[in-house]
Amino acid sequence: MAKIPNSLVSTPALLTHILVLPAFFLGFILIYDSGWMIHFLGGGKEREVFNSLMLTCILIGVLCGSRIPMIAVRHHGGLTWWQYSIWSFMEVVVFSAFAALYMALVWGNYGYFTAFGHCLRISFLILPYAYILFALFFAHLRPDEKESAEEDLVRFTDTTGRLKLVIAHDVILYIEAQENYVSIHYMEGERPKEYSLRQSMRGIEDLMEKHGIIRCQRSYFVNPRHVTVLRRDKEGMIQAELDITGSRPVPVSPKYYEELSKML
């Protein structure tokens, strides 16, 4: 399933969510003239406003505890839309649980589970509208193009952790091992270039996997975006031919042949 755009879990989006969602919740309660809701919140206007403010504070606390960890999740693969929906649903349920605890303690006419039922009713009457509008706004009306461009860049560091080369993932042709170095073959404009980096194949394996550049042989990574055909040479060895004129073919071992062929 498709992942949610990073703009939806960016720092500005998370802060906006934590502030705007409770404001929407409070405004809806105070404007929506519902007899059962008013009675549940206190019966009188003063009590209704006070309890509404307290529930809003509880909602802010729940959102802070829930949304801030999304920053860490974002940097470890992100969330699919299904996972994000479940996450949001659980936020509403957890908020209702804490809100019910407060209402049961201060409003003696209700037991906890009765209060929990009322809080769930209020929450699912109000909050889904805010969640949907929020997701539409940040996912579609404000796409983070700069962030998307940053994700397309591959940052190569050497064995000491120093940043040595930053290039777009789609210009990389292949990478080969050369003793204590790896040789990165890439395009700069119309010209193929080569950069030697003091690093091991194992040291860049996770980085390559993240950007869709796969191992095709023990000493080679290849970018499937540039592979035009897989063929056997006279010795029966499998070779990956690239779409760059003059570029030599990249060897492919039988172990990785099937995976690479599926990506072409």
Domain assignment present for residue 244? The answer is: yes
Query: Are 117 and 79 members of one domain?
Result: yes
Query: Are 113 and 167 members of one domain?
Result: no
List b or e across 97-127, with b for residues whose CB sees 16 or more CB atoms inside 10 angstroms: bbbbebbbeebeebeeeebbebbbebbeebb
Domain assignment present for residue 131? The answer is: yes
Query: Are 12 and 138 members of one domain?
Result: yes
Q: Could you tell me the sign of the dihedral formed by the alpha carbons of 205, 210, 216, 221, in that order?
A: negative
164: three-class secondary structure by DSSP = strand
0.85 exceeded by pTM: no
In the prediction, which pLDDT does 73 show?
67
Domain assignment present for residue 88? The answer is: yes
Query: Are 134 and 206 members of one domain?
Result: no
Query: Are 121 and 163 members of one domain?
Result: no
Q: What's the full length of the chain, in residues?
A: 264
Eight-state DSSP code of residue 44: S
What one-letter code names the amino acid at 156?
F
The domain containing residue 60 runs over which residues?
6-143
- Whole-angstrom distance, CA of residue 172 vs CA of residue 221: 10
Domain assignment present for residue 33? The answer is: yes
CATH number, domain containing residue 228: 2.40.50.1020
In the prediction, which pLDDT does 205 show?
93
In the prediction, which pLDDT does 76 show?
56
Contacts of 118 (CB under 8 A, 6+ apart): 40, 100, 103, 110
In the prediction, which pLDDT does 106 show?
79
List b or e across 195-234, with b for residues whose CB sees 16 or more CB atoms inside 10 angstroms: bebebebeebeebbeebebbbbbeebbbbbbbbeebeeee
Strands (E), 76-128: none
- Whole-angstrom distance, CA of residue 171 vs CA of residue 12: 31
Query: Are 207 and 128 members of one domain?
Result: no
How many domains does the structure of the chain reveal? 2
Of 259, 179, 160, the closest CA to residue 214 belongs to 259
Domain assignment present for residue 1? The answer is: no
In the prediction, which pLDDT does 74 show?
61
Sequential pLDDT tens for the chain (264 residues): 567 777 777 778 888 889 999 999 999 988 886 777 777 887 667 788 888 899 999 999 999 999 888 776 665 556 788 888 999 999 999 999 999 999 888 776 678 999 999 999 999 999 999 999 888 887 765 444 445 555 678 999 999 999 999 999 999 999 999 989 999 999 998 899 999 999 999 999 999 998 999 999 999 999 999 999 999 888 888 999 999 888 889 999 999 998 888 887
In the prediction, which pLDDT does 72 show?
67
Domain assignment present for residue 119? The answer is: yes
Here the tokens at position 240 are 């990956």
Query: Are 77 and 139 members of one domain?
Result: yes
Query: Are 168 and 256 members of one domain?
Result: yes
In the prediction, which pLDDT does 75 show?
54
Which of 121, 143, 165 is at the close of a domain?
143
In the prediction, which pLDDT does 5 show?
75
Which of 143, 169, 192 is at the close of a domain?
143
Which of 112, 143, 174 is at the close of a domain?
143
In the prediction, which pLDDT does 221 show?
96
Query: Are 132 and 11 members of one domain?
Result: yes
Contact 167, 153 (CB under 8 A): yes
Of 152, 96, 151, 103, the closest CA to residue 124 belongs to 96
Please give the angle made by the CA atoms of 55, 56 and 59, to the nearest 5 degrees: 90
- Whole-angstrom distance, CA of residue 227 vs CA of residue 153: 20
Query: Are 128 and 196 members of one domain?
Result: no
Query: Are 175 and 220 members of one domain?
Result: yes
In the prediction, which pLDDT does 177 show?
96
